[in-house]
Amino acid sequence: MDNGSGPSLFPLHRCKTLHLVRHGQGIHNVEGAKNYKAYMKPEYFDARLTPLGWQQVDNLRKHVHECGLSKRIELVITSPLLRTLQTAVGVFGGEGYKDRTDVPPLMVANAGNSERPSISNLNCPPIIAVELCREHLGVHPCDNRRNISDYQFLFPAVDFSLAKTDEDILWKADVRETTEEVAARGLKFMNWLWTRKEKEIAIVTHNGFLSHTLNALGNDCHPSMKKEMSKHFSNCELRSMVIVDRSMAGSDSSTTDYPRKIPSGLDLPSDVADEKYRGKEKVRTQV
């Protein structure tokens, strides 16, 4: 796009559709809205969803099923924090889990004091936890994750294999990421997405991560579009966007292009014929 002046075309296989989701209301959101200092309270460590947050999850789940997204999404990526994990499995998980020894649930009953039943991992996309899309790191206990081994007990069918350490070594009690560092981490996450084969992905994450990442993107768009992209997310808000691989970082070929006429035969497009004719006429007049 040239300074947002008009539409652009890109090969479909160089694009991915991202469904960006902020987690439902957490216990820290309620108190933090009243007093910002509440975010510093240790009791909000790895904050869980509130009952209202679970209602928001249920409503978003209903929406993704009614609009058909639940059938199109190939992969769900979630931040490895309790509130995002609860949101991811609540929105995109399977239906009606029954105790089975051969199929672990996405979430065990009452995970994180949720007072919710188990959630099935049947007939739903895979869900993986990725550290890169965590919230603004440092200082706030609500953004400090628990051990991966604890999450694996609560969310048995979620894939935590990309976590490099059991303990949280990224969060620091006395150092908070700058907004520039969050944005850089977000761009690194976007580049990592091109290593995935999936074309339609849901990402369950946090407002700070989304806002700072999206604000670093869209500089070639119309200012109003950039503003639309980077505005703050409400709890359990979903926005669908497309990212384009302009740098050819991805290696996938198109699965839908039909590259040649079969069976082959003579095929001279009229515009090519016109060019050839004009070229011959030009040579003839010069002679």
Query: Active site includes 23?
Result: yes
Contacts of 175 (CB under 8 A, 6+ apart): 138, 139
Q: How long is the chain?
A: 287
Query: Could you tell me which residues are beta bridge partners of residue 36?
Result: none
Sign of the Cα torsion 220, 222, 225, 226 reads: positive
- Residue 101: CA atoms inside 13 Å, Cβ hemisphere, count? 0
The amino acid at 13: H
Backbone angles phi, psi at 198, to 5 degrees: -65, 145
Q: Which residue among the candidates 23, 28, 140, 206 is catalytic per the annotation?
A: 23
Please, are residues 105 and 156 in contact by the beta-carbon 8 Å criterion?
Answer: yes
Q: How far is 73 from 59, CA to CA, in rounded Å?
A: 18
Q: How far is 241 from 229, CA to CA, in rounded Å?
A: 9
Give the CA dihedral 85, 112, 181, 231, nearest 10 degrees: 70
Backbone angles phi, psi at 141, to 5 degrees: -60, -30
Give the CA dihedral 166, 171, 177, 182, nearest 10 degrees: 30
Q: Which residue among the candidates 135, 136, 177, 212 is catalytic per the annotation?
A: 135
110: left (phi over 0), alpha (psi -120 to 50) or beta: left
Residues marked as catalytic? 23, 135
